[in-house]
């Protein structure tokens, strides 16, 4: 399998965990997997968004081919590192870049398309690929998969972990009706053997938009990785005021958040609800630890920090958590806060990991988002009915009361619900379908 995954370690972009899980699951299923992704320095020097520790999560038998963008436009500013065409004629290079972007994916990553296709064709004598799988965003990988599939006469599959032409947060089309991007999406979907979506609402939107491909559209949800939560005990955490608690009696309830904080999160609404909740006796002196990056890029951090009462009202920013330390971080929390932006088409990958802890989960997001479909049967779910501060305060109080009660039956039921959402459970049927697709059932 040739896997076109632009965001792959060492990047820490939000889609990287699904990409790693997919590559690992296919390799574990017996596939010879070759991943194409940009060079490390692209994430480290140009995007400045990397976490080198993530590379350890990739199986050793997964081959990683690092394919540069043509000329690294528009990021490269060092003339000594320009591509040949850009060195000889900068206006010609700029024109070619603009036209490639305008007539394909309307992304700066369009420059990845020609280099990926050239590398895949060059590898053909050595690697007899049976399948091309591409994950987007960026959606340059979809166009590249279409081109490679046609050139090598092999099936290609598209994994929509994001939406190309639908703006998820406004729920409106992202492009004017006459934009070339629509023609490209139709083109790649017509030729795709399968199009995969992370939730049912996204699939339904695309089925309505492209009915000719509706029967080839499937859902492969995100999931959680059991090996990352080995530090969690197989019993509920002791209530803070119980004799079994490792801390002193009557300590404050500890809430936690783990994940990248972005501009789409309803921070102002949540923290107003948090302040009101702390007036309740069960929430007296409650603490909230925030773990994760402030935005995907360094220049986001200051703006996001200004939107949070850090150092006040029991709120503390703890910084990023290495993936290997996720289990220990969760073990120190009594309840979790699920902050999410977006609308009905959004399912955060983090919610599956949250459920796996068996802790009470407080939702802080608009009602009706796709994540609520997953949380609906989780027995320790609080909130999810809006962003009014009083409603959020009530959800926080309910979670704190559940922490104080520490019901082992509810904990067991919560963990059992989460067991159906492991990465293996999500990706196993997909791997089997791909076997059938290429004739290796």
**Burial (Cβ within 10 Å: 0-12, 13-18, ≥19) of residue 412:** middle
Same structural domain, 258 and 388? yes
Inter-CA distances, 372 with 168, 376, 378, Å: 16, 6, 10
Same structural domain, 77 and 201? yes
pLDDT over threshold 90, residue 80: no
Same structural domain, 219 and 244? no
Inter-CA distances, 42 with 65, 95, 190, 282, Å: 14, 22, 32, 48
Same structural domain, 195 and 272? no
Rounded average pLDDT over 138-147: 97
Average pLDDT, the chain: 89
Beta-bridge partners for 132: 2, 156
**Which pLDDT does position 249 carry in this prediction?**
52
**Which pLDDT does position 233 carry in this prediction?**
64
Residue among 255, 250, 220, 290 at smallest CA distance from 383: 255
Same structural domain, 397 and 429? no
Same structural domain, 53 and 108? yes
Same structural domain, 82 and 141? yes
- More confident site: 435 or 54: 435
Summarised one tens digit per residue, pLDDT across range 320-356 is 887 778 888 998 999 999 998 766 787 777 899 999 9
DSSP notation for 17-38: HHHHHHHHHHHHTT---EEEE-
Same structural domain, 412 and 283? yes
Percentage of the chain beyond pLDDT 90 is: 62
Task: Show Cβ contacts of residue 163 under 8 Å, excluding neighbours closer than 6 positions.
Answer: 174, 202, 205, 345
What is the residue range of 82's domain? 2-223+423-437
Rounded average pLDDT over 249-270: 89
Q: How many domains does the chain have?
A: 2
- CATH number for the domain spanning 414: value is 3.40.50.2000
Number of other CB atoms surrounding residue 312 within 10 Å = 10
- The C-alpha atoms of residue 56 and residue 50 are separated, in whole angstroms, by 13
Structure tokens at 162: 């994001």
Summarised one tens digit per residue, pLDDT across range 351-392 is 999 999 999 999 999 888 888 888 989 999 999 888 999 999
- The C-alpha atoms of residue 51 and residue 43 are separated, in whole angstroms, by 9
Same structural domain, 117 and 141? yes
**Which pLDDT does position 160 carry in this prediction?**
97
**Which pLDDT does position 73 carry in this prediction?**
60
Same structural domain, 55 and 123? yes
- The C-alpha atoms of residue 337 and residue 398 are separated, in whole angstroms, by 12
pLDDT over threshold 90, residue 245: no
Upstream peptide bond of 97 is cis (omega within 30 degrees of 0) = no
Lowest mean pLDDT among 98-102, 187-191, 331-335, 417-421: 98-102
Same structural domain, 16 and 92? yes
Lowest mean pLDDT among 15-29, 96-110, 122-136: 96-110
- The C-alpha atoms of residue 150 and residue 147 are separated, in whole angstroms, by 5
Backbone angles phi, psi at 17, to 5 degrees: -70, -40
**Burial (Cβ within 10 Å: 0-12, 13-18, ≥19) of residue 317:** middle
Strands 172-173 and 166-167: antiparallel
Same structural domain, 29 and 173? yes
């Amino acid at each position: 399998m040739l896997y076109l995954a632009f965001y792959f370690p060492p990047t820490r972009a939000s889609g990287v965990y699904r990409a790693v899980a997919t590559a690992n699951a296919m390799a574990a299923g017996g596939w010879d997997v070759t991943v194409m992704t940009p060079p490390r320095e692209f994430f480290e020097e140009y995007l400045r968004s990397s976490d080198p520790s993530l590379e350890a999560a990739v199986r050793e038998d997964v081959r990683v081919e690092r394919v540069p963008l043509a000329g690294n436009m528009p990021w490269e500013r060092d003339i000594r590192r320009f591509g040949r065409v850009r060195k000889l004629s900068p206006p010609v290079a700029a024109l070619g870049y603009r036209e490639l972007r305008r007539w394909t994916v309307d992304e700066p990553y369009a420059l990845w398309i020609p280099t990926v296709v050239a590398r895949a064709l060059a590898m053909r004598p050595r690697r007899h690929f049976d399948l091309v799988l591409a994950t987007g965003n960026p959606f340059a990988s979809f166009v590249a998969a279409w081109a490679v599939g046609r050139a090598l006469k092999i099936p290609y599959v598209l994994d929509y972990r994001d939406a190309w032409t639908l703006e998820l947060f406004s729920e409106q089309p992202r492009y004017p009706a006459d934009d070339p991007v629509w023609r490209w999406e139709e083109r790649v979907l017509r030729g795709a053997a399968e199009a995969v979506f992370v939730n049912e609402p996204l699939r339904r939107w695309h089925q309505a938009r492209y009915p000719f491909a509706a029967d080839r559209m499937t859902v492969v949800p995100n999931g959680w990785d059991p090996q990352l939560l080995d530090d969690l005990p197989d019993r509920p955490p002791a209530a803070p005021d119980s004799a079994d608690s490792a801390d002193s009696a009557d300590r404050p309830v500890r809430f936690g958040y783990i994940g990248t904080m972005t501009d789409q999160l309803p921070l102002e609404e949540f923290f107003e609800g948090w302040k009101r909740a702390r007036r309740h006796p069960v929430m007296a002196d409650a603490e909230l630890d925030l773990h994760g990056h402030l935005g995907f890029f360094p220049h986001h951090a200051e703006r996001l920090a200004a939107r949070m009462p850090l150092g006040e009202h029991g709120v503390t920013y703890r910084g990023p958590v290495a993936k290997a330390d996720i289990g220990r971080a969760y073990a120190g929390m009594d309840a979790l806060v699920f902050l999410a932006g977006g609308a009905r088409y959004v399912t955060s990958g983090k919610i599956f990991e949250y459920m796996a802890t068996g802790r009470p989960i407080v939702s802080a997001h608009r009602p009706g988002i796709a994540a609520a479909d997953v949380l609906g049967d989780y027995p320790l779910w609080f909130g999810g009915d809006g962003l009014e501060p009083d409603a959020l305060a009530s959800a926080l109080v309910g979670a704190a009361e559940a922490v104080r009660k520490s019901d082992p039956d509810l904990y067991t039921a919560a963990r059992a619900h989460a067991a159906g959402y492991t990465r293996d459970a999500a990706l196993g049927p997909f791997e089997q379908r791909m076997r059938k697709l290429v004739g290796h059932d």
